[in-house]
Structure 1
Amino acid sequence: MAYRESFYQFLMTQRNPDSHAEIAQFANNAQHDSQFPKHEEDYDKISEYLELNASYLPSMSIFDEAYESYVEHMHNK
């Protein structure tokens, strides 16, 4: 079975403390979220978690964009 990178693992590659880009800020903040579902790949499960717990995420459209990048990244592996 092939190894699949979790969304969190992908998101951590987007961190940049000097960037004002929304995805970089999302990644920077998610790094400090000890409850983030770090091994999850499923959009719905991550989305539900963020909607209920991630006050640091100003808009779910940022997650949608990040998740779309994650899917593209996984297809190119």
Structure 2
Amino acid sequence: MSKTFYHFLMKYRHPAPKDEISKFANHAYNDHSFPKTSMEYHEVSSYLELNGHYLDSMTIFDEAWQLYLLSEIKL
């Protein structure tokens, strides 16, 4: 993998988010403690379980992670 999850997620940022992943991206951008250099599922997942109060459900993270994996396979 060449991009961190955070770097991948930032392409979903939008001033007027229309879906849950865009909302997640906006919140992650504003979360100064987000593990920005991580490419590890468990590291990001553990962080969000403890600090991701802005996520309605971890399913949103799981969906974003699957998109991340698919984008990295194509590289």
1:70 has 2:68 as partner: yes
Percent identity between the two aligned chains: 45
- TM-score, with normalisation over the residues of structure 1? 0.93
Give the helix-richer structure, 1 or 2: 2
Greater relative contact order structure (CA < 8 Å, 6+ sep): 2
Per the normalisation by structure 2, the TM-score is 0.95
Root mean square deviation of aligned Cα = 1.0
Q: Please list every run of 5 or more consecutive structure 2 residues that lacks an aligned counterpart in the other structure.
A: none
Gaps of 5+ in 1: none
Moved over 3 A (4+): none
* Paired residue total: 75
Structure-1 separation of matches of 2:57 and 2:23: 12
CA contact (8 A) 1:26 1:56 kept: yes
1:63 is displaced (CA, Å) by 0.1
